[in-house]
């Protein structure tokens, strides 16, 4: 990928490279996840500086970069569009945000853009500002993430008989939902109809309606446990940030 490019991106990781520079991993709108070397981004700000400030985790930036025939491209200019400062005002909110960044950083490969998911990630980070409905928001983001990864089940139909699930069912990880009649095919995680209906509705619910949505806490918790099982199977290892996440 050679040439000069302009895009927008969400910073997923920042690493100090030297006294004056950084290496940043960015989830860009047009190129997916990329790594950038930002020479001089940690220098004191000058009027002519291409980097008004060091890159910050969870920042949403306008970016110019020069592509190189390596996995590390060269950032040439940046402008902060949205810093999401509210994420740093509450440790629980910050843990939710960094968990999302961790998943985006590890689930997707360079050259694999997901502009729809990026838009949903920005919605998630913005709505965390309200401080309410965080667990429901987390489930909504997890479903968007699993959907973009191609492993989100259909919460309304059995994967074996393809019939509509109308009662208690099971989740066969990673395949999907199995109705009671087909459940003899293997061990499944038990799934109440109320939980599958919650997840089916949640997967397409408008982001702005999620924080005020009245859902029984036990359904939210059951949904989280099922989504976490799918995620861990897909990743094949727990993300490091999961151990710090508060339920």
- Specify the CATH number for the domain of residue 109: 1.20.1440.120
Alpha-carbon distances of 22 from 4, 43, 73, 87, 192, rounded to whole Å: 19, 10, 12, 22, 48
Mean residue pLDDT of the chain comes to 90
Q: Do 141 and 189 fall within a single domain?
A: yes
If DSSP codes are grouped into helix, strand and coil, which group holds residue 172?
strand
Domain coverage including residue 36: 3-83
Out of 60, 83, 106, a domain closes at 83
Mean pLDDT (whole number) for 23-44: 93
The CATH code of the domain that includes 22 is 2.40.50.140
CB contact at 8 A, 120 and 104: no
Q: Do 70 and 189 fall within a single domain?
A: no
Out of 54, 83, 112, a domain closes at 83
Mean pLDDT (whole number) for 133-148: 95
Choose the weakest-confidence range: 94-98, 104-108, 174-178, 187-191: 187-191
Q: What angle do CA 233, 234, 237 make, to 5 degrees?
A: 65
pLDDT exceeds 70 at position 123: yes
Tokens of 60: 């949403």
Share of the chain above pLDDT 70, in %: 96
Residue with tokens 């006294």: 19
Between 88 and 246, whose confidence is greater?
Answer: 88
Q: Do 7 and 100 fall within a single domain?
A: no
- Domain total in the chain: 2
Mean pLDDT (whole number) for 213-217: 94
Note the pTM of the prediction, 2 decimals: 0.91
- 192 CB burial (10 A radius; 0-12, 13-18, 19+): middle
């Amino acid at each position: 990928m050679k040439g000069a490019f302009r895009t927008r991106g969400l910073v997923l990781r920042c690493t100090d490279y030297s006294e004056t520079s950084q290496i940043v991993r960015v989830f860009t709108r047009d190129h997916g996840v990329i790594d950038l070397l930002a020479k001089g981004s940690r220098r004191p700000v000058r009027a002519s500086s291409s980097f008004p400030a060091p890159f910050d985790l969870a920042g949403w930036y306008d970016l110019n970069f020069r592509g190189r025939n390596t996995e590390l491209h060269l950032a040439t200019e940046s402008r902060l569009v949205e810093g999401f400062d509210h994420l740093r005002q509450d440790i629980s909110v910050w843990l939710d945000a960094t968990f999302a960044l961790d998943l985006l950083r590890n689930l997707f490969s360079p050259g694999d853009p997901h502009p729809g998911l990026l838009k949903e990630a920005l919605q998630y980070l913005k709505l965390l500002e309200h401080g309410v409905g965080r667990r429901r928001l987390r489930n909504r983001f997890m479903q968007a993430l699993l959907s973009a990864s191609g492993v989100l089940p259909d919460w309304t139909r059995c994967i074996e008989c393809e019939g509509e699930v109308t009662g208690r069912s099971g989740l066969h990880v990673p395949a999907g939902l199995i109705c009671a009649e087909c459940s003899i095919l293997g061990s499944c995680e038990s799934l109440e109809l109320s939980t599958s209906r919650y997840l089916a509705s949640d997967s397409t619910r408008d982001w702005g309606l999620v924080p005020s949505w009245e859902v029984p806490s036990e359904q939210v918790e059951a949904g989280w446990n099922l989504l976490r099982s799918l995620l861990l199977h897909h990743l094949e290892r727990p993300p490091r940030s999961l151990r710090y996440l508060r339920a």
